[in-house]
A and B are shown apart, each in its own frame.
Chain A
Amino acid sequence: MENVASLAVLLAFCAAIYALLASVVGRIQRKPFLIVSGERAVYCVWALITIGSGILVYALITGDFRFSYVAQHSNRSMPLLYKIAAWWGGQEGSLLFWGWLLSTYSAIVVFTNRHKHRDMMPYVVGILMFVQSFFLLLNNFVVSPFKMLSLEGSITAVQDGNGLNPLLQYPAMAIHPPMLYLGYVGFAVPFAFAIASLITRQPGDGWIHTTRRWTLITWLFQSTGVMLGMAWAYHVLGWGGYWGWDPVENASLLPWLSGTAFLHSVMMQEKKGMMKVWNVVLISTTFLLCIFGTSLTRTGLVSSVHAFAQGPLGKYFFSFLAICIAGIAYLILDRLEYLKSESELESVISRESSFLFNNLILLASCFAVLWGTLFPVISEAVSGEKISLDSVWFNKLMIPIGLFLLVLTGVGPLFAWRRTSWESLRRNFQWPGIASLVLAVALLAAGVRSFYALISFGFCLFVALTVLMEFYKGGRAIAAKNNMNLLRATVELTHRNTRRYGGYLVHMGIVLMFIGFTGAAFNKSDVKEMAVGDTLALGRYDLKVVDLKEGENDNYSWHRATVLVSRGGDVLGTLEPEKRFYKASRQGTSEVGVRPRLNEDLYLNFGGMSDDGVRAVIQAYVFPLVSWIWIGGLVLIGGTLVCLVPSKIKMQYARTEVVGITRKYAEVPK
């Protein structure tokens, strides 16, 4: 079976190279047969990788411990979900998973475009297969997932495996890597279209229209993945936070930032024919950051708690990145003429300018995060001393950047194209501006002294009001015209222009998330060794340990504290923070006890047992407003989904256009 799997993946490598050559050669020599066979080879690659992956998953589920990968990442007592999740739980498997996703995407691209874009599709296939062969190269020759355990020349099996890293044995974590990978891999598609369009010198923005949905869906996966990662850190790592600027977290954020910049700047190209070079650069950057992010998590370049993988992968990844950068740079410079902008910037206070600054800030933050992440590597190269920067540095830089972005979120969409009149500025921003000032002054009077928190709450209210006013104004107009109630009119309004109003919803989600982030300025925490009957007061809460228990099952042993929570004498309930120790991998994890409420979370972590074994170390935290991050995340997902719904108006518009063309052609034969 292992031979079939290895062979399948090896054949997939050959097929991918064949697809690459057949498409490109077929296109250059104009041989349709070669092009078609190249496209069929893409399906073939998918089928072969699916066979290889299927065998690996089967081995994981059935516990075939002759496979070195299975022995390292699975064991008998794990639930089925985690046995499957072990596919992407380790280095070899996750790279195979990457390759499988890419081949799936490629197959979908080839299928959906089988009658479209005949001119550039061969290059799209070529680029996708180029990336695919790189990953298959790794799968085959560098980190094969099908290595067997052998002893003195014969294959052997072990009794039981190490099991999946217990930190990953958590439902959100089991789907977090696939989400991130769907995002990482998905950016390969718009990238391939952009480059193919550049190679073939396509006039117009065909690649942008074709890949808009891809990009949005990919961005949706990426956002979901990043947020799941935050939720996982919050609920599982037990250090009482959701973001620590760890290199691996940064790796997931980098393409998200540049992808967000791309989503905004393509609007400039669609509406005004501007920023063409920039868009190609952005999508390429995003794709390269995805590859870079994968390599960062997989090569252990920067020391990180996550970087459980260290190996020979680094040089492969960096050669690949270097080749890509050189190729892209050559193409862009060579075809600069065709990427010429069709209009110019006119005013500092205009929609164009707000997009420009949005891009500047997103890219600056992307660069800052990259710089901070790579600082140990850079400083070692420059001064010979490895210097790292911690979360204090990131926060110092990213909080002002975030606030600037937040305010752009509010004002940008309301600026008019070309230039904005003072009258319209006053109309749109007068009341939100006054309201947010009042809020800031009121908070100051109420005793809030954190400078950033005051600004952030002010901006949040400002942006929320501008967004709500947009919905209200549009909704009221439709309600009056069509005799609807306001709620239905708002739905109708959104449906008429889903891109615009879905975008507003996404912005609203960002505002809610910022409210949650700002809550961190008011965190409280305490830690105490507590025996049964001991109490601890934190904020308005009184905590009392009523029970300490321990026990074990097949997978892990556990210690659990039962903590009675009360406030002002009223009992609110109990929380049960737990510490687990997984047997197979000999690792511990924390199951925190959280009492989530909209105003604040009470968060208890079982830190461990004291040395005498009688008292439990209980870490208690109060996190104000943290729930709004998750709510904002859901709103953001919802808004993105709205953007994906076709606009009602646009469809009608498109239909009339088609009718017009038919009539024109119908008249020609006369």
Chain B
Amino acid sequence: MRKYGKFAVLIAVVIAALVWLASTGVSETKTYYKTISEVGQMGDRAFTERLRVAGDVASGSIQHAHGQVNFTLTQEKRELRVAYTGSDPLPDTFRDGAQALADGRMGRDGVFHASKIQAKCASKYEAKPGQLRAAPAPPINKTT
């Protein structure tokens, strides 16, 4: 039984080390997913935790200025001003009307300071006006 004891101790040490790493890592890097309205309801916690906020980029709101990019996220008619100061390039999919995820912290000035932006482009067929000049109404999908 002694040799199995040795294995058990070794395995336990390895697992304990990993669990320790994982759990300390969580508190350092966790980011809360919030909608824009939820950010408003968080109260003071909104200014201390790292947040990730999703929304659509308001048309015409993207401005480049002094190495910083400002834009507005909208979701269900609520708006959030975002200042992106990160050094990574903005994703190619980031543009007016795209769905974007801003990752960063809420400032006391009401502006969200993002350090990372992810963007997803809504490339649904219906979302393309001007494409169907021949058709009077948007097409609907139907199985044959």
Contact = CB atoms under 8 A, between A and B. Distances in A.
Nearest to B119: A305
Contacts, number: 167
Name which of B18, B30, B87, B92 has the most chain A CB atoms within 10 A of its CB.
B92
Interface stretch (B3-11, B73-81, B105-113): B3-11
B33 A396 contact: no
A495 to B, nearest CB: 37
Interface band, chain A: 35 or more
A201 interface: no
A150 B135 CA distance: 11
A368 B119 CA distance: 26
A356 B7 contact: yes
Name which of B29, B90, B132, B137 has the most chain A CB atoms within 10 A of its CB.
B29
B89 A527 contact: yes
Interface string A141-172: 00010111111100110111010010100000
Nearest to A5: B144
B139 A608 contact: no
Helix, strand, loop or mixed for chain A's interface? mixed
Nearest to B118: A305
B143 A389 contact: no
Contact of A303 (B14, B91, B101, B121): B101
B123 A387 contact: no
A588 interface: yes
B6 A348 contact: yes
Interface string B92-109: 110100000101000000
A2 interface: yes
B92 A401 contact: no
A239 B15 CA distance: 34
Nearest to A385: B32
Contacts of B30: 387-389
A240 B91 CA distance: 11
A529 B125 CA distance: 35
Contacts of B90: 607-608
Contacts of B28: 392-393, 396
Contact of B25 (A305, A360, A393): A393
A3 B144 contact: yes
Given A386-B33, A588-B95, A149 B141 contact: yes
A555 interface: no
B31 interface: yes
Contact of B26 (A308, A393, A585): A393
A525 B87 contact: yes
A364 interface: yes
Nearest to B11: A360
A619 B123 CA distance: 27
A271 to B, nearest CB: 19
A312 interface: no
Interface string A295-330: 000000001010110000000000000000000000
A205 B87 CA distance: 55
A144 B91 CA distance: 31
Contact of A308 (B18, B32, B123): B123
Given A144-B143, A162-B123, A348-B7, A587 B93 contact: yes
B3 to A, nearest CB: 7
A238 B101 CA distance: 18
Contact of A397 (B18, B54, B121, B134): B18
Given A149-B139, A387-B32, A619 B132 contact: no
B32 to A, nearest CB: 6
A306 to B, nearest CB: 9
A590 B92 contact: yes
A229 to B, nearest CB: 17
B88 interface: yes
A150 B32 CA distance: 42
Interface in B39-97: 52, 54, 63-65, 67, 87-93, 95
Given A148-B144, A303-B54, A387-B33, A607 B87 contact: no
Given A239-B89, A388-B33, A389-B26, A152 B137 contact: yes
Nearest to B140: A150
Contacts of A589: 92
A611 interface: yes
Interface of A: 2-3, 6, 68, 71-72, 144, 146-152, 155-156, 158-160, 162, 165, 167, 237-240, 303, 305, 307-308, 345-348, 353, 356-357, 360-361, 364, 368, 371, 375-376, 385-390, 392-393, 396-397, 400-401, 404, 525, 527, 529, 579, 585-590, 605, 607-608, 610-611, 617, 619
Given A150-B141, A305-B91, 18 more contacts: A147-B143, A148-B142, A149-B139, A152-B137, A159-B131, A165-B123, A305-B118, A346-B3, A386-B33, A388-B31, A389-B30, A392-B29, A393-B22, A393-B26, A396-B25, A397-B22, A579-B92, A588-B93
Interface of B: 3-4, 6-7, 10-11, 14-15, 17-18, 21-22, 25-26, 28-34, 52, 54, 63-65, 67, 87-93, 95, 101, 103, 116, 118-121, 123, 125, 128, 131-135, 137, 139-144
Give 6 closest A-B pairs by Cβ, nearest first. A386-B33, A588-B92, A607-B89, A150-B142, A393-B29, A393-B25
20 contacts: A68-B141, A72-B123, A144-B143, A150-B140, A158-B132, A159-B134, A303-B33, A345-B7, A348-B3, A368-B18, A388-B52, A390-B29, A390-B103, A393-B28, A397-B21, A397-B25, A527-B67, A586-B128, A587-B93, A611-B63
